[in-house]
């Protein structure tokens, strides 16, 4: 009897937890991509048992912006490699880093499946990353010359529309980082604020407010050009309309 009552209470709690927070959308930013370096040809300097035809070592990853902790909303990541790799599906679960390091010779598309905490009630989401081993873009010759690693990284955001109550709690409070912050670590506190905040970081950085302001400035400039083009077209249209009027008058 008692157990039935208890399970009834638990079921009611589960139901409440899965209720959705109406009208709220929570955005969580992250970066994903790959970094590749050339392997030395000297076998003594290569990682042990590297097949002779492998030319590069690479890492594919999913991370928080500026390495912010994202494990409260991202629980597991599955990387689907090319079938030439043994066990091509690699599941990475926190506290492991969400990354896979391999050696190889070719570029291919990597499937990345994001898994959210069970209490979120959210389905997994898939994204795709094109592994890059060779330099690309404008600076590619110079980058190759310098022997830079080949980095291909993208910024992305997961949107949780009307998240489940329990998940909304998790998204907006983090007991682990709260505890660290309480323990007096300034870094932990700063990290907590950064990772808890759906906003773009204030500081300098590729996804900062400074970068955002620049982007807004560029968009405003572009808007001005578009506005002036529209104004020109309007003038032309008025002229054409007048011409048409005149022609009509001539006809009658
Ligand atoms: C290509 N379509 O032809 C691609 C396939 C496959 C990459 C790339 C190593 C596999 C192994 C590897 O680099 N596979 O361990 O043998 O470029």
Question: What's the rounded mean pLDDT across residues 49-57?
Answer: 95
Q: What is the pLDDT of residue 175?
A: 55
Residue nearest to atom 17 of ligand 1 (CA): 106
Question: pLDDT tens-digit profile of 67-83?
Answer: 999 999 999 999 999 99
CA of 131 to the centre of ligand 1 (A): 11
Residue 194 has pLDDT above 50, yes or no: no
- 151: confidence class by pLDDT, cuts 50, 70, 90: very high
> What does CATH list as the number for 23-162?
2.60.40.1970
Q: Which residues contact 84 (CB under 8 A, 6 or more apart)?
A: 104, 106
Distance CA 66, CA 26 (A): 19
Question: What's the rounded mean pLDDT across residues 240-249?
Answer: 91
Q: Is the CB of 104 under 6 A from ligand 1?
A: yes
Q: What is the pLDDT of residue 223?
A: 85
Distance CA 35, CA 168 (A): 33
CA of 55 to the centre of ligand 1 (A): 11
Distance CA 80, CA 78 (A): 6
Is the model more confident about 22 or about 205? 22
Distance CA 59, CA 30 (A): 16
Question: pLDDT tens-digit profile of 105-130?
Answer: 999 999 999 999 998 999 999 999 99
Question: What's the rounded mean pLDDT across residues 164-170?
Answer: 91
Pairing of β 89-93 and β 76-80: antiparallel
Distance CA 127, CA 227 (A): 37
Domain coordinates in residue numbering, the chain: 23-162, 202-243
Residue nearest to atom 8 of ligand 1 (CA): 106
Walk across the sheet containing 99-104 and list its strands: 99-104, 56-63, 25-38, 150-161
Residue tagged 């009897």 (tokens) = 1
Beta bridge partners of 153: 33
On average, the pLDDT of the chain sits at 84
Q: Which residues contact 145 (CB under 8 A, 6 or more apart)?
A: none
Residue 178 has pLDDT above 80, yes or no: no
């Amino acid at each position: 009897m008692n157990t039935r009552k208890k399970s009834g209470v638990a079921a009611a709690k589960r139901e409440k937890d899965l209720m959705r927070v109406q009208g709220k959308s929570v955005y969580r930013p992250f970066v994903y991509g790959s970094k590749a370096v050339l392997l030395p040809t000297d076998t003594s300097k290569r990682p042990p048992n590297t097949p002779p035809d492998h030319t590069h070592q690479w890492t594919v990853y999913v991370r928080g912006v500026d390495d912010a902790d994202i494990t409260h909303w991202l629980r597991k990541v599955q990387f689907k490699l090319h079938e030439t790799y043994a066990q091509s599906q690699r599941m990475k679960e926190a506290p492991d880093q969400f990354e896979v390091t391999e050696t190889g010779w070719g570029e291919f598309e990597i499937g990345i499946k994001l898994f959210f905490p069970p209490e979120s009630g959210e389905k997994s989401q898939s994204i795709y990353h094109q592994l890059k081993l060779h330099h690309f873009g404008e600076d590619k010759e110079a980058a190759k010359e310098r022997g830079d690693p080949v980095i291909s990284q993208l910024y992305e955001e997961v949107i949780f529309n009307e998240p489940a109550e329990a998940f909304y709690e998790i998204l907006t409070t983090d007991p682990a980082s709260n505890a660290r912050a309480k323990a007096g670590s300034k870094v932990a506190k700063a990290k907590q604020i950064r990772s808890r905040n759906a906003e773009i970081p204030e500081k300098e950085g590729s996804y900062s407010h400074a970068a955002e302001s620049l982007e807004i400035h560029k968009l405003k400039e572009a808007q001005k050009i578009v506005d002036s083009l529209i104004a020109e077209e309007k003038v032309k249209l008025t002229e054409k309309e007048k011409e048409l009027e005149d022609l009509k008058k001539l006809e009658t």
